[in-house]
Amino acid sequence: MSNDFNALLAKVASHLAERDAALSTLPVTPGAEAVAAAVDALPPALPQAGLGTGATLDYLLSSVLPGCLTAQNGPRYFGFVTGGVTPAAQLADILGSGYDENVQVTLGDTSAATTVEARTLEMVLDLLEIPRETYAGRTITTGATASNILGLACAREALYAASPYTYGDYSYAASGPPPGLPTPPIVVLGLHPHWSIKKAAALVGLGNGPSVFHSLPADADDELAPDLSALRGRLVAERAIGRGVIVTYGLGEVNTGGFGRGLPQIAALCRQYGAWLHVDAAFGGFAGAVPELRHLVEGIDLADSLTLDGHKWLNVPYDCGLFFTRDARALPSFLGPSASNTPAYLAADDAAIPSPLTMNIENSRRFRALPLFASLLSLGKDGYADIVRRNVAFARRVATYLASHPSYQLLNMSPEWLASGAPVPLNIVLFRGAPGSRFDPESADAHTRLTAAINATRRMYVSGSQWGGKGAVRLAVSNWRTGDEDWEIVRAVLDEVTA
């Protein structure tokens, strides 16, 4: 049995090593026939007698994985915002699965795992040069969506407690909606919030329809910045009727990679009028890892709650997100057990490192910190700054090429390109076919056809998107492997499909 396991483990290791060496040349996607073959090869039902480990592993390697995304963590998968996996993260993830520790409770002299998690979260703040004491409440989640859920839940608790219609330390989590509040009791103001914020609002009981979510008008000279006087007007009016306000701010807009100006002023207004500021910096926050880009995230330390993603630009395996809030007690106040029913295993909870189950959606959870810890340690600040820098340089190269290409139109061109030298804000290139080209935007499905034509080459992968009410193609660069050799391939594909 154990000899078998050793041999099979070696087989997995050599498969991963071969794949790793081939990632730059593998087709990015498997192709429709391979997907269909994998689906056809699925067992119709649970077999009565199991196949055994060896036969199962052979079946996965020969029949299932060839029909799944062959190189999503390779250097030319530019869809969504998809990170790769650094070598240290990949190895640590394999170890973490092998140890299979359930990291939910701090057991001071039994396991160091929650201390590893706590140090990992501190190291992420170090990377972005955010003072650790700024965000005393921190936890590792399954992704930015889970972090947004925690952010809106913290906001809900704080706003109900501060409402003129409640008294004491009212908790919505404990008591549900109090009577007498305006309808709706809390509104969410923002500009282009990521869809996951609406999902979060639905889950935490705020609602996510048009009576709850209000789009702020954009600043006249900055389509990504809310108009400050409109925001102030709303904050004054809502305060007058005792309605709670959450302001969400996307630090790094997901279609354009752009940053609106004015986060520090927005934070000051929120503080003045008692609104909760939730900043979703899932990928854009990591501009803060690079000294010459850090100005883009000015104000990242002023949020009441902050979302970052681990599995995007930090290049650790799915799933990993990060959540920060100012007050260490904010999450445990509604996610932890009450004093009267604290189980014995939490009675001795070390205040310095609260048990993750009092800070999170999950109780049982994997040792998600280990790959991130390993990756941060292996690369250091310099290594991560280098990934962000190289990815941004790659996006700029693509954008510069498209901007002067007769068949393309660059849609997220920086207005201050000439002054700043940066054709696009960060690591995303948003484009479409030029008028008169094969993918003339006059035709409603042009961007879908262009996306399909690029992806059909299987040499690179991009996402279809919408911006300003029109179809677009989006190329996001966030993989540590993407390098100069990939540029030649990208250029060839972009030329070929429009020829």
- Binding-site ranges for ligand PLP (CB under 6 A): 81, 143-145, 194, 196, 250, 254, 280, 282-283, 309, 321
Q: Which secondary-structure segment (H or E) carries 140? A: strand 137-141
Pick the closer one to ligand PLP by CB: 482 or 498: 482
* Closest approach of ligand PLP to the CB of residue 192, in Å: 10
* Closest approach of ligand PLP to the CB of residue 203, in Å: 13
Q: DSSP assignment, residue 410? A: E
* Closest approach of ligand PLP to the CB of residue 196, in Å: 4
Pick the closer one to ligand PLP by CB: 128 or 254: 254
**Distance (Å, rounded) from C-alpha 440 to C-alpha 140?**
44
Pick the closer one to ligand PLP by CB: 163 or 196: 196
* Closest approach of ligand PLP to the CB of residue 362, in Å: 14
Pick the closer one to ligand PLP by CB: 88 or 282: 282
Q: Which long-range contacts (CB under 8 A, 24 or more apart) does 13-16 make?
A: 15/61, 16/90
Pick the closer one to ligand PLP by CB: 74 or 250: 250
Pick the closer one to ligand PLP by CB: 145 or 360: 145
* Closest approach of ligand PLP to the CB of residue 40, in Å: 30
Contacts of 477 (CB under 8 A, 6+ apart): 78, 391, 392, 394, 395, 398, 427, 428, 429
Pick the closer one to ligand PLP by CB: 254 or 490: 254
Pick the closer one to ligand PLP by CB: 166 or 248: 248
Cβ atoms 111, 104 nearer than 8 A: no
What are the tokens at 16? 């991963």
Pick the closer one to ligand PLP by CB: 144 or 359: 144
Cβ atoms 441, 454 nearer than 8 A: no
What are the tokens at 2? 């154990």
Beta carbons within 10 angstroms of residue 482's beta carbon: 25
**CA proximity to 358, closest of 369, 372, 347:** 347
* Closest approach of ligand PLP to the CB of residue 59, in Å: 30
Pick the closer one to ligand PLP by CB: 213 or 439: 213
**CA proximity to 429, closest of 395, 405, 391, 453:** 395
Using alpha carbons, list the distances in angstroms from residue 420 to 141, 238, 377, 393. Answer: 36, 39, 33, 13
* Closest approach of ligand PLP to the CB of residue 254, in Å: 4
Strand-strand pairing, 463-467 and 470-476: antiparallel
**Distance (Å, rounded) from C-alpha 258 to C-alpha 254?**
8
Pick the closer one to ligand PLP by CB: 29 or 196: 196
Cα 70 to the chain's mean position, in Å?
Answer: 22
* Closest approach of ligand PLP to the CB of residue 285, in Å: 9
DSSP conformation letters of 50-80: ---HHHHHHHIIIIIGGGS-TTTTSTTB-ST
DSSP conformation letters of 203-239: HTTS--STTTEEEPPEETTEEEEE-HHHHHHHHHHHH
Task: Give the relative orientation of helices 87-99 and 369-403 as an angle to the nearest 10 degrees.
Answer: 150
* Closest approach of ligand PLP to the CB of residue 392, in Å: 16
**Distance (Å, rounded) from C-alpha 187 to C-alpha 170?**
19
**Distance (Å, rounded) from C-alpha 176 to C-alpha 157?**
10
